[in-house]
Amino acid sequence: MAVAKNKIEQVMDYVQTQIDSRIWTAQTRLPSVRQLAKQLGYSVSTVVEAYERLVAQGVIQAKAGSGFFVTAPNALLSMTSLAPKRERAVDPLWISRQTLEAGEAFLKPGCGWLPEDWLPQQSMRKAIRSSLSLPSKVLSDYATPQGAYAFRQLLAMRMQSKQIDAIPEQIMLMDSATQAIDLLCRFLLKPNDTVLVDDPCYFNFQALLKVHQVNVVGVPYTAQGVDIQAFEQAIHTHQPRLYITNAGLHNPTGAVQTLSNAYQVVKLIQQANMLVIEDDIYADFEDEPAPRLAALDGLKNVIYIGSFSKTLSASLRCGFIASSMEWIDDLVDLKIATQFSHHYLSAEIIYAILTDGSYRKHIDSMKLRLKRHMKSSIAQLATLGITPWMVPKAGMFLWCQLDERYDVNQLSKDCLAQDMVLAPGNSFSQSQQFKNYLRFNVAQCQNPKVFQILAEALALQNLNG
Amino acid sequence: MAVAKNKIEQVMDYVQTQIDSRIWTAQTRLPSVRQLAKQLGYSVSTVVEAYERLVAQGVIQAKAGSGFFVTAPNALLSMTSLAPKRERAVDPLWISRQTLEAGEAFLKPGCGWLPEDWLPQQSMRKAIRSSLSLPSKVLSDYATPQGAYAFRQLLAMRMQSKQIDAIPEQIMLMDSATQAIDLLCRFLLKPNDTVLVDDPCYFNFQALLKVHQVNVVGVPYTAQGVDIQAFEQAIHTHQPRLYITNAGLHNPTGAVQTLSNAYQVVKLIQQANMLVIEDDIYADFEDEPAPRLAALDGLKNVIYIGSFSKTLSASLRCGFIASSMEWIDDLVDLKIATQFSHHYLSAEIIYAILTDGSYRKHIDSMKLRLKRHMKSSIAQLATLGITPWMVPKAGMFLWCQLDERYDVNQLSKDCLAQDMVLAPGNSFSQSQQFKNYLRFNVAQCQNPKVFQILAEALALQNLNG
């Protein structure tokens, strides 16, 4: 049992808590002895003793004439030290983490996935049950490196329906789209390369690219697709190696690139001998087929990826990479070296659902449901003075603008205090130009409490502002 | 349907095949026009035309005065260009790939996993069936970032039984041990750091470290553990950042480190402020508990990892990292950024098997079976003049020496021609000092064809040599 701590230990605990909760990160300068003594209500000598013990433990270090600093951790790669620290409320990684850790306890009207009851639970259970009759090796063995041929044939067929010419030989199964992009980044990038992303874009692209220590440049996304002039300018200025974007319904805006915009993008990247990773995880959400860069380019400079975590399951993880034949061999090697195998059984279960005849019905009904929720969410948000930048033709997202007088950061904090996690615009933006925006997921706005809490938080600002 | 190809196209196909099968890698100099014409029996002008077309396609490039070269691929990271090219027969990555791609078609008496019928199929099916009754979120949602608390509690208890003090808070679930090590390498290493490994060691450590572009130094492994004098010398000479080793039964030798050796290792690495990744995937194979570095060190400088792919399933992938509290936060962030989530359902199924009472029985019976096969494999290998470097106390591996007159590379090639993949000693060795060794997996030596094919290949060398 813990003995009551003396004052010195209490000061040490306070410092340790600041560090553990990352309010003070590596190399942060601590308050001076006098400052902290005053702040905590202890004597200067108590704080001196506490600081000295923490120095002896290596938790902080003294720099002569400068004061005390949090020791850089043993680890080289610290997410918090890789880039200017963002305020948590808009830090993409912090938001992902909050949302993942909180689980069902929190309302998450801005998150990027459907509620579990929207996913085809019955089909999942049926496929899991029938997996029991699969050959034993499927339950026990490593998968083949590229993954089951039949599944790759199916993926090639699905790609054909998006006008993308692909053969099973140029496809490799992975455990998720995130993992696929990560593998490709390892394959294609070196530190200090420049990578273009849309502005705004899916916020985990930014967290991932931080890990790869590359220079990230955002290019404004318009209602017709990425801003071509800005894109061309960015290529000229930065000589980027790579452009990462999502296909079809843009995340977070819901906009859909026009065919002529797509053509210009492909022409520019081919001229610049740049590469593109086109992430099509929302492939099945669209009604009218949008142009894929991979279709125009023919998988030469464009690498196409996808997964089933948005329409089937985020738990049974399954994704894929389709790339030029030139690279598949090396990608397979890299996959073996870094993960050895994807999940054999998960892939078989996902394949079973995709081929049992239920998938199309599930998608059609999901899209109808989203349309209804899109309508009602727009209406409810309007009553709060929140309007979408554009009304998307399909999908789950609404990219919404709030009146300039609102502090969206403060709003996020107030909502968090009520166990609701928002998705503030600046988490999606390299350029941080969307401080008055919020992304909503219409499928996660069903609970009336969402609008209640939001209304209260807005009212709070009206009162104070 | 393919039209019969003319001579020029045939030459082009030949060149393309050499490149696709990586016999000619990036920047390899092609045969001169005259040489290839002679070799293939075509006219010089045919080869000239073929080379010119390939240049136009970008497949090869001409360097004035030097000849023709295979074009460097667009990809930066090429497994084949990262280190001196090894002959395939001993290239660890090539062996892994052969074995994974061939699946059941090949005999694999040297591979690192148990045959699927040794794994607890019934328990697996039972756990999969009962997962159907789990809450829907387990089938559909993302897992919490560190993973289910109950599972981490179980892992902490299992670690306690190896004398390792760990709390659930310092454990994080991953999809596999390989993925865990890879994440840690990203977290801890930068290019050109030095990493120590045992010599010999698990060959995928080498493939993985190649990806991280670090300097790898092998330290001889003795029957009592890593050679302490050589270890100390290597620390002094190279100032390594990290040491990667496996706990308990050493792969490939089957040796077990003594307590005094473990103590000296921990003392040296702490003094040098180095880190250790201790891979305990064979934890459940030992009879007598071997000392864990993590137990002596207390998870300060030692990071401990494990998985269930060797005793439960390589298909339903589940592993974990146990590290100092100081790093868990950053490791969670890195995991979210690079893979977002581990497989929620797989982890729940594995947890169910570990807690349903069947696991211990499975392990006990597996170990008994291995003991029997160890005995019989040693006997059968003896008839071929193949003897183990030492007889392990437990586990699946036999590290065997062949008489110096045998060319193990040639043996591997001849066996491969008979659809049998061997595990030659030099694939396990940084220093390449084990050219007369083979690793056998006694559970994969049940089929009498294994010894037949081996005998024939040895006889072939006796005749020729």
Kindly determine whether residue A113 and residue B142, on different chains, have CB atoms separated by under 8 Å. Answer: yes
Contacts of A101 in chain B (CB under 8 A): 144-145
Distance CA B277, CA B301 (A): 9
Residue A21: pLDDT band with limits 50, 70, 90: low
The phi, psi pair for B69, rounded to 5°, reads -130, 150
pLDDT tens for each residue of B52-79: 888 877 788 787 677 888 876 544 455 5
pLDDT above 90 coverage of chain A, percent: 73
The ipTM value here is 0.81
Q: Is the pLDDT of residue B109 over 90?
A: yes
Write down the mean pLDDT value for chain A.
90
Cα nearest neighbour of A104 on chain B: B137
- Picking from B304, B295, B18, the residue whose alpha carbon sits closest to that of residue B161 is B295
Residue A449: pLDDT band with limits 50, 70, 90: very high
CA distances from B113 to B35, B108, B128, B354, B418 (A): 46, 10, 22, 19, 21
The more confidently predicted of residues B102 and A225 is A225
Distance CA B68, CA B75 (A): 20
CA distance A425 to chain B (A): 19
Distance CA A183, CA A337 (A): 11
Report the residue count for chain B: 465
Distance CA A358, CA A169 (A): 27
Q: Is the pLDDT of residue B203 over 70?
A: yes
Kindly determine whether residue A79 and residue B337, on different chains, have CB atoms separated by under 8 Å. Answer: yes
Kindly determine whether residue B144 and residue A314, on different chains, have CB atoms separated by under 8 Å. Answer: no
pLDDT above 70 coverage of chain A, percent: 93
CA distance B136 to chain A (A): 7
Q: What confidence score (pLDDT) does residue B18 get?
A: 84
Amino acid, single-letter form, for residue A23: I
Contacts of B210 in chain A (CB under 8 A): 337
In order of start, what are the domains of chain B with their CATH numbers?
Answer: 2-70 (1.10.10.10), 86-117+360-464 (3.90.1150.10), 121-355 (3.40.640.10)
Which of A77, A142, A330 is opposite residue B334, by nearest beta carbon? A77
Q: What confidence score (pLDDT) does residue B53 get?
A: 83
Kindly determine whether residue A211 and residue B334, on different chains, have CB atoms separated by under 8 Å. Answer: yes
Residue A87: pLDDT band with limits 50, 70, 90: low
CA distance B370 to chain A (A): 18
Burial B403-421 (b: 16+ CB within 10 A, else e): eeebbbbebbebbbeeebb
Ramachandran bin of A163, using left for φ above 0, alpha for ψ from -120 to 50, beta for the remaining angles: left
Cα nearest neighbour of B117 on chain A: A136
| Residue B193: HSE in the Cβ half-sphere, 13 Å Cα cutoff | 19
Average pLDDT over residues B248-260: 97
CA distance B27 to chain A (A): 15
Q: What confidence score (pLDDT) does residue B21 get?
A: 66
pLDDT tens for each residue of B309-321: 999 999 999 999 9
3-state secondary structure B251-290: CCCCCECCHHHHHHHHHHHHHCCCEEEEECCCHHHCCCCC
Q: Assess contact for B47 and B36: CB atoms under 8 A.
A: yes
Sign of CA dihedral B38, B40, B43, B47: negative
Distance CA A49, CA B414 (A): 72
Burial A381-411 (b: 16+ CB within 10 A, else e): beeeebebbeebbbbbbbbbebeeebbbbeb
Contacts of A76 in chain B (CB under 8 A): 187-190
Residue B81: pLDDT band with limits 50, 70, 90: very low
pLDDT tens for each residue of A299-354: 999 999 999 999 999 999 999 999 999 899 999 999 999 999 999 999 999 999 99
Residue B84: pLDDT band with limits 50, 70, 90: very low
Does residue A432 sit in helix, strand or coil?
coil
Distance CA B179, CA B211 (A): 13
Kindly determine whether residue B139 and residue A316, on different chains, have CB atoms separated by under 8 Å. Answer: yes
Which of A80, A204, A334 is opposite residue B337, by nearest beta carbon? A204
Q: Is the pLDDT of residue B11 over 50?
A: yes
CA distance A13 to chain B (A): 14
Q: Is the pLDDT of residue B95 over 90?
A: no
Contacts of B316 in chain A (CB under 8 A): 139, 343, 345-346
pLDDT tens for each residue of A265-293: 999 999 999 999 999 999 999 999 999 99
Q: Is the pLDDT of residue A372 over 60?
A: yes
Amino acid, single-letter form, for residue B48: V
Kindly determine whether residue A175 and residue B343, on different chains, have CB atoms separated by under 8 Å. Answer: yes
Q: Which residues pair with B397 in a beta bridge?
A: B441
Q: Which residues pair with B68 in a beta bridge?
A: B62
Distance CA B383, CA B381 (A): 5
Distance, C-alpha B375 to centroid of its chain: 25
Burial A292-321 (b: 16+ CB within 10 A, else e): bbbbbbebebbbbbbbbbbbbbbbbbbbbb
Q: B31 exposed, middle or buried (CB, 10 Å; 0-12, 13-18, 19+)?
A: middle
Kindly determine whether residue A136 and residue B121, on different chains, have CB atoms separated by under 8 Å. Answer: yes
Average pLDDT over residues B437-459: 96
Q: Compute how many other C-beta atoms are within 10 angstroms of the C-beta atom of residue A236.
A: 10
Does residue B241 sit in helix, strand or coil?
coil
Region of poorest pLDDT, from B20-29, B90-99, B247-256: B20-29
pLDDT above 90 coverage of chain B, percent: 73
Which of A330, A336, A345 is opposite residue B78, by nearest beta carbon? A330
DSSP letters, A255-317, are: -B--HHHHHHHHHHHHHTT-EEEEE-TTGGG-SSPPPPHHHHHTSSSEEEEEESTTTT-SSS-
Q: Is the pLDDT of residue B224 over 50?
A: yes
Amino acid, single-letter form, for residue A60: I
CA distances from B124 to A78, B155, B279, B282, B358 (A): 38, 19, 24, 19, 10
Q: What confidence score (pLDDT) does residue A13 get?
A: 87
Q: What confidence score (pLDDT) does residue B164 get?
A: 96
Average pLDDT over residues B124-145: 93
DSSP run (H or E) holding A56: helix A44-57
Which of A208, A275, A337 is opposite residue B211, by nearest beta carbon? A337
DSSP letters, A374-430, are: HHHHHHHHHHTT-EESS--SSSSEEEEE--TTS-HHHHHHHHHHTTB---BGGGG-S
Distance CA B244, CA B256 (A): 16
pLDDT tens for each residue of A167-188: 999 999 999 999 999 999 999 9
pLDDT tens for each residue of A360-370: 999 999 999 99
Amino acid, single-letter form, for residue B287: D
Q: Is the pLDDT of residue A119 over 60?
A: yes
CA distance A465 to chain B (A): 35
Contacts of B336 in chain A (CB under 8 A): 93, 96-97, 100, 204, 207
Q: Of B187-191, B248-252, B325-329, B432-436, which one has max mean pLDDT? A: B248-252
User: Which are the contacts of B375, defined by CB distance < 8 A and separation ≥ 6?
Assistant: none
DSSP letters, B35-84, are: HHHHHHT--HHHHHHHHHHHHHHTSEEEETTTEEEEPPPS-S--TTTSSP
Which of B140, B207, B341 is opposite residue A100, by nearest beta carbon? B341
Which of B104, B128, B141 is opposite residue A315, by nearest beta carbon? B141
Which segments of B378-445 are extended strands (E)? 387-388, 397-401, 437-441
CA distance A192 to chain B (A): 14
Interface test with B, best of A118, A121, A142 (most B CBs within 10 A): A142
Distance CA A110, CA A87 (A): 18
Interface test with A, best of B101, B146, B301, B317 (most A CBs within 10 A): B317
User: Which are the contacts of A339, defined by CB distance < 8 A and separation ≥ 6?
Assistant: A175, A179, B175, B176, B178, B179, B182
Tokens of A68: 């005390």
User: Which are the contacts of B376, defined by CB distance < 8 A and separation ≥ 6?
Assistant: B442
Residue B368: pLDDT band with limits 50, 70, 90: very high
Q: What confidence score (pLDDT) does residue B89 get?
A: 66
Given the structure tokens 């077990």, which residue do they identify?
B256
Which of B103, B314, B336 is opposite residue A97, by nearest beta carbon? B336
CA distance B145 to chain A (A): 6
CA distances from A342 to A77, A364, B165, B175, B315 (A): 26, 29, 31, 9, 8
The phi, psi pair for A421, rounded to 5°, reads -100, 120
Residue A84: pLDDT band with limits 50, 70, 90: very low
Residue A464: pLDDT band with limits 50, 70, 90: confident
pLDDT tens for each residue of A210-237: 999 999 999 999 999 999 999 999 999 9
Q: What confidence score (pLDDT) does residue A77 get?
A: 53
Kindly determine whether residue A75 and residue B344, on different chains, have CB atoms separated by under 8 Å. Answer: no
Q: B392 exposed, middle or buried (CB, 10 Å; 0-12, 13-18, 19+)?
A: buried
Beta strand pairing status for B242-246 and B194-199?
Answer: parallel
Ramachandran bin of B299, using left for φ above 0, alpha for ψ from -120 to 50, beta for the remaining angles: left
Full-model pTM: 0.83
Distance CA B16, CA A214 (A): 34
Q: Is the pLDDT of residue A444 over 60?
A: yes
Contacts of B127 in chain A (CB under 8 A): none
Residue A261: pLDDT band with limits 50, 70, 90: very high
Q: Of A96-100, B230-234, B413-417, which one has max mean pLDDT? A: B230-234
Interface test with A, best of B122, B335, B345 (most A CBs within 10 A): B345
Which of A104, A275, A314 is opposite residue B74, by nearest beta carbon? A275
